[in-house]
Amino acid sequence: MKYKRILLKLSGEALMGNRQYGIDPERLAEYAQDIKQITNLGVEVAIVIGGGNIFRGVAGAINGVDRVQGDHMGMLATVINGLALQSALEDANVPTRLQSAIKINEVAEPFIRRKALRHLEKGRVVIFGGGTGNPYFTTDSAAVLRAIEIEADVILKGTRVDGIYNVDPEKDSEAIKFEYISFDDVLKKGLKVMDTTAFTLSQENKLPIIVFDMNKNGNLLKVVLGENIGTTVNL
């Protein structure tokens, strides 16, 4: 295996499946099986999920919700998604722990780095909810921060497209896909891989990012095995 410890970043929208909002149980079950495949090989897996399928703080602010309040609502949405994924993983007999950056002790452990590392070493999937615990920071920032803290080998960003393109492939049929691109070129070309804060943090810590299509069964396994799937962002 190319990677021993990974941080998998999933958007909240990914959990919707073909729905307009909320959580699709079938999509959750598919993700759980994909994750189980790689844990069976001994890969240590940590996960950060967004909350955009339930509530997004920025969108709430546009519609009159106080930004700080909205971001806290978004953090709670990530915990809901974390609980849903935890349930799906446990249904697939994958040992799991949910840790939250905001204290909700009845449903999730508080985030403690040493505990998270211990869980990973014991083969448990660790889901990080609650973002960074601070408003104005996205779950992309939370993903990079947690990946650095747990000393992950790579960030795998699972999306609905199969990599990074020069333009939006859903809007332009002539879009060109990059198999490999440097951090500097992403910034120069103005490509949207992650928000700037998260992306810069990843670059400064020399943490590679792979963007791939999570909705195609088997892709997660292929990435972990080192196959040329998606787009790799590195130095």
β-pairing verdict for 231-234 and 209-213 = antiparallel
Neighbours of 92 (CB within 10 A): 18
Q: How far is CA 195 from CA 127, 141, 191, 234, in A?
A: 21, 8, 10, 16
Q: How many domains, in total, are found in the chain? A: 1
Structure confidence by residue, pLDDT tens digits, 10-57? 998 888 888 888 899 999 999 999 999 999 999 999 999 999 899 876
* Measured distance CA(81)–CA(131) in Å, rounded: 12
Structure confidence by residue, pLDDT tens digits, 75-118? 999 999 999 999 999 999 999 999 999 999 999 999 999 999 99
Structure confidence by residue, pLDDT tens digits, 142-175? 999 999 999 999 999 998 889 999 988 888 888 9
Q: What's the chain's average pLDDT?
A: 93
CATH number, domain of 95, equals 3.40.1160.10
Tell me which residue range forms the domain holding 198. 5-234
Bridge partners (DSSP) of residue 64 are none
